[in-house]
Amino acid sequence: MKTYSITEAAEHFNMTPHTLRYYDKEGLMPFIERTSSGRRVFKEADMEALKIIECLKSSGMPIKEIKHFIEWCSEGDSTLQQRYDMFLERKASVEAQMEELKKTMEVIEHKCSYYKTALDSGTEDIHKTKKVTGF
Amino acid sequence: MKTYSITEAAEHFNMTPHTLRYYDKEGLMPFIERTSSGRRVFKEADMEALKIIECLKSSGMPIKEIKHFIEWCSEGDSTLQQRYDMFLERKASVEAQMEELKKTMEVIEHKCSYYKTALDSGTEDIHKTKKVTGF
DNA sequence: GCTTGACTTAGAGTTAACTTTAAGTAATAT
DNA sequence: ATATTACTTAAAGTTAACTCTAAGTCAAGC
């Protein structure tokens, strides 16, 4: 079975070995095994767990809460409901973020055309004078 | 013309007066006028500027860069191109964030159905045994 | 006239998520 | 055998964006 060193794992997720050690220290990776000399060995299952950690992180979840999820995972079936609820919450949160970004995008696009018009006429004053063509 | 106290302005944007003073201190609001006793007076134009500041902030722009934009605004037409370019950049950044969120959403939705299935069968093992019905 | 509450300032403190440092061990390359 | 590189730990430092504290001013209500 393929395994990864900390550097390989870090490269795979576009982060530094430092960050992976930090995650481990914060309790996000209690499952990682070590070689006899103490080095971390990342297995496929660990890479899969890292993928979920990354996903939760990009959904805006703080590391301390991700840690709770990891703990639930090692507690087995008794925490299935919590874990399901957590992902439903994440889903709602990401949906809200998407909505927020849409609103932000509307304002930005408005400003893009505002500055396009200003640039074409050479001055921002075009938006104050509201020139009417044809007179 | 309607004006707002710092508390009214803060409420309007769902932040605290502290935060508005912090923005002012960081150079985001060089346009704010004061009463004879030194209190900030927020005019309609200031509220409009705050709306843009909020928009840039939700697009992920750090306060120091927003400050540059504010400086460009007071430099007049000579900075129109920079400001236009900046909003184009913001647009690209928000589009990228939306893409990222979409990918995150896919993983989350997958996990939602994973845990739904597990809950229905009472155990997470259902995903390991890959039970085939009909045999 | 005095209290209350909103405002002012400068500056210190907080929090999250790294990021760096220092000091050391282990495995690999020449 | 030695130099380089990858790894280990504990702990301090960094950064952004607030957030709070202390000490004080000012205007309105009773």
Instruction: Give domain status of residue A119, yes or no.
Output: no
Instruction: Give domain status of residue A117, yes or no.
Output: no
The range of the structural domain enclosing residue A76 comes to: 6-90
Other Cβ atoms closer than 10 A to A77: 14
Q: What percent of chain B has pLDDT over 90?
A: 75
Contact A44, A2 (CB under 8 A): yes
Distance CA B79, CA B61 (A): 19
In b/e form, how buried is each residue of B80-110, taking b as 16+ CB within 10 angstroms?
beebbebbeebbeebeebeeebeebbebbee
Instruction: Give domain status of residue A1, yes or no.
Output: no
> Could you tell me the pLDDT band of residue B134, with boundaries at 50, 70 and 90?
very low
Asked which of A7-11, B56-60, B114-118 is least confident by mean pLDDT, the reply is A7-11
Nucleotides of C under 7 A from a protein CB: 6-10, 16-21, 25-27
pLDDT at A132: 52
Instruction: Give domain status of residue A72, yes or no.
Output: yes
Instruction: Name the domain count of chain A.
Output: 1
Q: Which residue is nearest to nucleotide C6 (CA to C1')?
A: B7
Instruction: Give domain status of residue B101, yes or no.
Output: no
Contact A99, B47 (CB under 8 A): no
For residue B11, give the CATH number of its domain. 1.10.1660.10
pLDDT at A35: 86
Instruction: Give domain status of residue B131, yes or no.
Output: no
Instruction: Give domain status of residue A86, yes or no.
Output: yes
pLDDT at A135: 55
Q: What is the arithmetic mean of pLDDT over B43-68?
A: 94
**What would the pLDDT profile of A19-59 be if each residue is shown by its tens digit?**
999 999 999 998 888 888 888 999 999 999 999 999 999 99
Instruction: Give domain status of residue B83, yes or no.
Output: yes
B14 pLDDT higher than 80: yes
**B53: chain A residues, CB-CB within 8 Å:** none
Distance CA B50, CA B9 (A): 9
Could you tell me which residue, B135 or A108, shows the higher pLDDT? Answer: A108
From the CA of A36 to the C1' of C24: give the distance in Å.
17
Q: What angle do CA A116, A102, B100 make, to 5 degrees?
A: 105
From the CA of B28 to the C1' of C16: give the distance in Å.
24
Nucleotides of D under 7 A from a protein CB: 6-10, 16-21, 25-27
Which residue on chain A is closest to B57 by alpha carbon? A104
**Residue B4: φ, ψ to 5°:** -130, 145
For residue B119, give the nearest of A51, A55, A84 by CB distance: A84
Antiparallel, parallel or unpaired: β B33-34 and B40-43: antiparallel
Supply A33's token pair. Answer: 């095994």
**What would the pLDDT profile of A72-120 be if each residue is shown by its tens digit?**
999 999 999 999 999 999 999 999 999 999 999 999 999 999 999 999 9
Which of A35, A25, A29, A28 has its CA nearest to residue A3?
A35
pLDDT at A134: 46
Contact A109 B119 (CB under 8 A): no
**A77: chain B residues, CB-CB within 8 Å:** 118, 122-124
**DSSP strands (E only) in chain A:** 33-34, 40-41
B135 pLDDT higher than 70: no
* Greatest distance between any 2 Cα atoms in chain B: 87
How many DSSP H helices and E strands does chain B contain?
Answer: 6, 3
> Could you tell me the pLDDT band of residue B36, with boundaries at 50, 70 and 90?
confident
Which of A93, A90, A69, A92 has its CA nearest to residue A80?
A69
**B76: chain A residues, CB-CB within 8 Å:** 124
